[in-house]
Structure 1
Amino acid sequence: MPAPPGRRSIDTSKRPFVLIWEVTQACALACTHCRADAQPERHPDELSTADGKRLLEDASDFGDGQLVVLSGGDPLVRDDVPELIEYGTDLGLRMTITPSGTRSVTRDRIEALSEAGLRRMALSLDGATPESHDAFRGEAGSFAETIRAMKDARAAGVPVQINTTVCRQTVDELPAIRDLLADLGVVMWSVFFLVPVGRGRILEPISPEEADAVMSWLGEVSDSEPFGVKTTEAPQYRRVRLQERRESDIGTVDAAGLRRRSGIVAGDGFAFVSHVGEVFPSGFLPASAGNVREEPITAIYRDSALFRSLRDRGRLRGKCGACEFRTVCGGSRSRAYAYTGDPLESDPLCPYVPAEYDGPLPWDDPTSVPSAPSRPTDAD
């Protein structure tokens, strides 16, 4: 198989860098941040195995090497996951999975997924100790099961990615989680900055200033650790890193360079298919652009008005629309939607104000974003 396409080589008007399929909302956990508001039982209208295979066939029309993430809920609630992974692999898709840290992730199931062609497994750690992680996940023993699953996956030859949610409850855990991941040999740390959807509405986000500080720290982690670091719903990470490069005189970044390095945001390089087939720009932006039972995912992604608007950075409003970093960043469209109901509005987590912008700011409303700035350090 040819090497999978790199992020910069993908024309995101034609195909997403990441396609997530939420195969079920069923899950044994009751995590306090759950985007899906997961339920104990499967929904009767979930996409069937046959529906899922048609979705994977359509996804293969995006091009060879399309990345597909099987998500949930807990996708391993379904018994057909190995069959779906094998089917997608045979179509030339890069199949990955994000199971819950429960007893469902047995060694035998991991080995079956590996034999089916699984390319990566992503597990969640939101605390560096059993006490902090289990409290966040709402299930005693989740930490131990997650660590055990990580080790079993590595033994089966499956690379492991760790996902961590950043909010007031977890931010002080980040340095210790970083140390734990270095010891466990993961390949990627994906850091999710809270978007208040689902059960996540009850959690407290960090402030915009603190978000920038955390992203600066994550840049240092990326430079020093053997695993990769990426952010989700935080495209301002790229703005922070570029500003630091300018300040340290390491290379130059001009407007043309920014255009060439466009960031990936909801609807622009990213698409999400719900358990019942609705297509969203992101799982954190629950506005439907169509249903895969009615039209192919390729047509919805490429041609729907919602997705096309999100790919046009010239349509952004507020300070995001005036920002010189909008092509490389673009702001979290999901967070803008969650706070304002308009996915083209400014991202309220970003503290940067363009020099020539004099319009209203998201934090002019004191109830919009809590403020408690600090920065994680190795001493925390």
Structure 2
Amino acid sequence: MTALQHETPLTSTVLRFLWLELTGKCQLECVHCYASSSPVGTDGTMTVPDWKRVIDQAAALGTSRVQFIGGEPILYKALPDLIGHALAAGVEVEVYSNLLYVPGSLWETFSQPGVRLATSFYTDDACEHMLITGRNTLPRTQNNIIAALEQGIPLRVGMVRVLDGQRLDQGRELLKQLGVTQIGVDRL
């Protein structure tokens, strides 16, 4: 038997979910960022046609959902085009954003059927939040969470434990008061 022969046949694999890291650009400098994203990040070498080919190939493999991540995917200028392309290919979309700044035109894109948002949240305390993200952004993120919910955009929030003694319970309560129903907690 050669190295390429197998005793049992290979079965086809269905790729159900795909993360696409569109950019390394981000307004924040979070202490726990796995991608080292920051305001000096770049969009990398993938072009919009490259990303569309990846989406088409994933759809052909049975992918039912794609998540656009970064950095901050909202900073990727072609995000609305890629969302539209994925939806046209029958692939649902989740945009994982820090929700720091959402241009008005993107709210309409996010309101389409098959599109949902996800974000990270750390605490109800602005100073603690700033220690984690490197910026005073808690009020803006909180306001965009409210805006998403008011527009009926499905939203999932992941709370990330980064600091000892971090106010996770209080942050979770704040999110519930805002109307968030999907809240998970991860440890760094």
If the length of structure 2 is used for normalisation, what is the TM-score?
Answer: 0.84
Is contact 2:16–2:62 with CA below 8 Å preserved after alignment? no
Q: Look up the match of 2:174.
A: 180
Q: Look up the match of 1:120.
A: 116
Per-residue displacement from partner, 1:76-130 (whole Å, max 9, x unpaired)? Answer: 1111111101110111111010112322x23432223324x45211111111221
Q: What SS is found at the alignment partner of 1:122?
A: strand
Distance 1:158 1:23, change over 3 A: same
Pick from 157, 173, 177: which aligns with 1:162? 157
| Mapped partners of 1:80, 1:119: distance in 2 | 16
Q: What SS is found at the alignment partner of 1:100?
A: coil
Is contact 2:120–2:158 with CA below 8 Å preserved after alignment? yes
Q: Look up the match of 2:133.
A: 137
Per-residue displacement from partner, 1:224-255 (whole Å, max 9, x unpaired)? Answer: xxxxxxxxxxxxxxxxxxxxxxxxxxxxxxxx
Q: Look up the match of 1:108.
A: 105
| Mapped partners of 1:179, 1:156: distance in 2 | 21
* Residue 87 of structure 2 corresponds to residue 93 of structure 1: no
The percentage of counterpart residues that share the same residue type is 25
Distance 1:119 1:44, change over 3 A: closer
Q: What SS is found at the alignment partner of 2:32?
A: coil
**Count of aligned pairs:** 177
| Mapped partners of 1:79, 1:118: distance in 2 | 20
Q: Look up the match of 2:45.
A: 46
Distance 1:153 1:47, change over 3 A: same
User: Which ranges in structure 1 are unaligned for 5 or more consecutive residues?
Assistant: 1-12, 195-380
User: Which ranges in structure 2 are unaligned for 5 or more consecutive residues?
Assistant: 1-11
Deviation at 1:189, TM superposition (A): 1.5
Residue 177 of structure 1 aligns with an amino acid whose one-letter code is G
Is contact 1:60–1:91 with CA below 8 Å preserved after alignment? yes
Q: CA RMSD in A?
A: 2.0
| Mapped partners of 1:127, 1:42: distance in 2 | 26
Is contact 1:123–1:146 with CA below 8 Å preserved after alignment? no
Is contact 1:25–1:73 with CA below 8 Å preserved after alignment? yes
Structure having the larger proportion of residues in strand: 2
| Mapped partners of 2:165, 2:156: distance in 1 | 19
Q: What SS is found at the alignment partner of 2:111?
A: helix
If the length of structure 1 is used for normalisation, what is the TM-score?
Answer: 0.44
Q: Rg larger in 1 or in 2?
A: 1
| Mapped partners of 1:31, 1:95: distance in 2 | 24
